[in-house]
Structure 1
């Protein structure tokens, strides 16, 4: 039985990681504010604000077989390293593929250049700074996991779930989709990612790993989402210029078309996942993920306010404007 400390562990991915470790019989402690909820059943929760003095006093004097860090804010990362790194046998930093400086090379691996961390208020820059600080302190005990787009039930970003939910809401009515050729989607189910992080921490996997699924043409992913939703919606395709002209943003956020990547991002959803698979990483069938995501979307409300995507009214307005030329 390993003693594992999860820095976080009450929000979506962290909670899944803690649950996966508990299921393996480990002694799991989560250190978090608790603002996102409670820890998984079987995991102990120590409620602390990591920005406050003495936040690590309760756990800092202990030996840990593994520490798993989910934060991106460099001050949180460095504070944890100072308090905990000397007594940790293995350290996992959950980073992101957003750290890469370029997104135009399909198949790029973990050796690709990173952004220069000059603006620590930017997510990618903060993650690079966190990677560098952790590598300096932990050395060869470190696993840097760089997930791609994390999806699955419970996802609060509303990006991937938009499509299953939208097809279910539209039924036989039209749905707006991006029209640029060679679009791809590359996702990883949060449950598969959590299981791999738990296994990697226990078996002390080290190095840098892109934790990504296999790239899939976006049109195939959309067809699968429509099929899972039982929709017969006709697709209204619009190219990048038309979408921008009608005030639609790419990828995420309000009035966006989720997962649409504009020109120049051909490599973003085509990162190499060879190291992930070599390190024991697995991915469940995308249909299985979509079935669970659709159930979650229905439970949360198909026409609810969303963090990403077009409202149904906005979408129909764009479709009408496209038809008018």
Structure 2
């Protein structure tokens, strides 16, 4: 199967990212969970005051919880529109990231913090405004970027020195069309405002409880339901993702250590295939699921798309095929850690069961049960001649 339009892929990633961020046992696909990640967090030796730009959706709450567990004081700055009732005991400042709208950044003027974490920057002009305003009054700026900044994701092993995407008109603010390139320019805007004091974290797919995109949730929920499960390819394609709580812990760790520079932040620590991920999910949930591995050519003919219809997965032969094999050596050396994939799977299912009935009835990513049955029937009709019928 082939994704012929990088911008379509980038658009899907962009939407998921914007939704997601909102303005001691080792398991398969993971490693021992350190304190603060699946275990009771230890207090930081030096409590900090941390400003979070955003902070009320998915990664944001995980950052608040991670920071407070370490003993830090948190202030949130946002428009007050998303989950305004969260964290009633946390200071909230209201405004707009765009300085040309309403009161803009006025609530931040004259305030001092030890560090700022920017979860909601997508336009260079807007990141420039906040970074320049805060530069005299904060010591450290952590910017949440994306691995979609890279120019070429067709090959494995992309690292922090790999070329980034560019855009002909640097003044454009068309995030849907130029998501990766604009994120790269946002990184540069923050660094220009605070040279040597910026941590640029480039996460991959962010997953776990509270994920509003269902780009990972689809698989635990589908496997929990059991029966014949349509699975993509031959099972050997690499996949990467990071639990939002582990990403948050790494960002707070970076703030405490005043890490600067660029760090790819996805996981797990060792290579993981889509087959290993699904088998780990099955075991974690005690499911009777039977994986029906359908080859990419068949899926393409059925118009079953990687990433959207088959979340998490992108074929290694695809123009985005290196997305599941990004180098995280630098982050590992800096202290990033991951809870076992099985824990994320179980926690995701437990959270999903608390969601409103309408969400449980219709996931935002993946195939509907009806469509999956159609594709499975078509595969069986052609003899089920995939690389492996049963998982």
- State the TM-score, normalized to the length of structure 2: 0.78
Find the aligned partners of 1:240 and 1:273 in 2 and give their Cα distance: 27
Q: Which moved more, 1:25-34 or 1:230-239?
A: 230-239
261, 284, 288: which one pairs with 2:314?
A: 261
What's the CA shift string for 1:144-187, capped at 9, x where partnerless? 00111111111111111111100112x2x211010145301111
Residue 62 (1) aligns with residue 117 (2): no
Find the aligned partners of 1:221 and 1:237 in 2 and give their Cα distance: 14
Number of matched pairs: 320
Residue 104 (1) aligns with residue 150 (2): no
SS in 1 for 2:310: strand
Q: Is the 8 A contact 2:203 2:264 kept in 1?
A: yes
Structure 2 counterparts to residues 158-307 of structure 1, below 5 A: 158-169=214-225, 171=226, 173-180=227-234, 182-213=236-267, 214=269, 215-252=271-308, 256-262=309-315, 263-264=317-318, 265-300=320-355, 303-307=360-364
Q: Which moved more, 1:138-147 or 1:99-108?
A: 99-108
C-alpha displacement at 1:126, in angstroms?
A: 2.0
Find the aligned partners of 2:88 and 2:279 in 1 and give their Cα distance: 37
- State the TM-score, normalized to the length of structure 1: 0.93
Find the aligned partners of 1:82 and 1:209 in 2 and give their Cα distance: 22
Q: Which moved more, 1:229-238 or 1:272-281?
A: 229-238
Which residue in 2 is equivalent to 1:322? 379
SS in 2 for 1:65: strand
Which residue in 2 is equivalent to 1:40? 87
Q: CA RMSD in A?
A: 1.8
C-alpha displacement at 1:55, in angstroms?
A: 2.4
Unaligned runs of 5+ in 1: none
Q: Is the 8 A contact 1:184 1:218 kept in 2?
A: yes
Find the aligned partners of 1:18 and 1:164 in 2 and give their Cα distance: 26
Residue 92 (1) aligns with residue 139 (2): no
SS in 2 for 1:216: coil
SS in 1 for 2:103: coil
Structure 2 counterparts to residues 109-188 of structure 1, below 5 A: 109-118=159-168, 120-121=174-175, 122-169=178-225, 171=226, 173-180=227-234, 182-188=236-242
C-alpha displacement at 1:239, in angstroms?
A: 1.6
Q: Is the 8 A contact 2:235 2:293 kept in 1?
A: no
Q: 1:131 to 1:280 in 2, by over 3 A?
A: same
Unaligned runs of 5+ in 2: 1-46, 383-391
Find the aligned partners of 1:324 and 1:113 in 2 and give their Cα distance: 45
70, 75, 95: which one pairs with 1:29?
A: 75
Q: Which has the higher strand share?
A: 1
SS in 2 for 1:224: helix
SS in 2 for 1:104: coil
C-alpha displacement at 1:41, in angstroms?
A: 5.3
C-alpha displacement at 1:42, in angstroms?
A: 4.0
